[in-house]
Amino acid sequence: MMKLRVIETNEGIQNEVTVEMFDQFARGMRDKGWNGVDAMAASGLTGGNMLELGPGPGYVGLELAKKLNAVSLTGCEISPAMIQFAEKNATEYGIKANYVLGNCMELPFEDESFDTVFSNGSLHEWENPIRAFNEIYRVLRTGGRYCITDLRRDVHPLKKAMIFSSTQPKEMRPGFISSLNAAYTISEITELLRNTDLNKATVTADFFGLCICGGK
């Protein structure tokens, strides 16, 4: 039987040493082409004014903004230490991104502000995903698209072992396990979405994660 979710954190990754290590990890994932950017683009995101939720050090959004030729890139991130890394990395990309300290449960943006809303690897940390899903819908323009990707707890144990052993730096491996234990299964997320403004979303399982996407 599938083990129950074990909540990881409601405050995001705050510790500065962990943040620095996460930056190395996320940079490595980008370099291997494993950060889901191609799948996000393939889900039909069109660029325009883009909002990233929980950007961490920013690589996913920066790569996606580059790929989709975005008009603007805004990030809403709960950890000030992550924002410092994201700003440094945006400078390296030559992209003028705007990282805002905030919580996905109460996005600090007007209704219908963005053409694209996306997020990778952050959903399992959200205290109240139902509120976050409704917030995504609220800030999205009519005709806009969203894509939320994350780990999934119902991944096959062999894949779990494979990802665990390829996680670098090694110090990130316990964090990978706790993130996986906090992640949703496909059926849990489908049930959660049912009572939100994203109730028409398409939910798919990929190699080791899940993808929630759709339009307004």
The binding site for ligand SAM (CB under 6 A) comprises: 12-13, 26, 53-56, 59-60, 76-79, 82, 103-105, 120-122, 125-126
* Residue that is written with structure tokens 């950007």 in the block: 55
**CB atoms near residue 166 (< 10 Å):** 13
User: Shortest gap between Cβ of 100 and ligand SAM (angstroms)?
Assistant: 10
CB of 148 to ligand SAM, least distance (A): 10
Closer residue to ligand SAM in complex, CB, 9/49: 9
Strands 72-77, 98-101: pairing kind: parallel
User: Of the two residues 115 and 135, which places its CB atom closer to ligand SAM in the complex?
Assistant: 135
Give dist(CA 75, CA 97) in Å, integer: 7
Instruction: Find the helix packing angle between 16-32 and 80-93, rounded to 10°.
Output: 40
Closer Cβ to ligand SAM, 54 or 144, answer by number: 54
Q: How far is CA 137 from the centre of its chain?
A: 16
Q: Considering the complex, what minimum distance in angstroms separates the CB of residue 21 from ligand SAM?
A: 12
Residue closer to ligand SAM (CB basis): 115 or 150:
150
Residue 10: which residues within 8 A CB-CB, separation 6 or more? 125, 126, 127
Q: What is the CB neighbour count within 10 angstroms for residue 47?
A: 19
Contact 184, 123 (CB under 8 A): yes
Question: Shortest gap between Cβ of 1 and ligand SAM (angstroms)?
Answer: 27
CB of 104 to ligand SAM, least distance (A): 4
Residue nearest to ligand SAM (CB): 12
Nearer to ligand SAM (CB atom), residue 82 or residue 193: 82
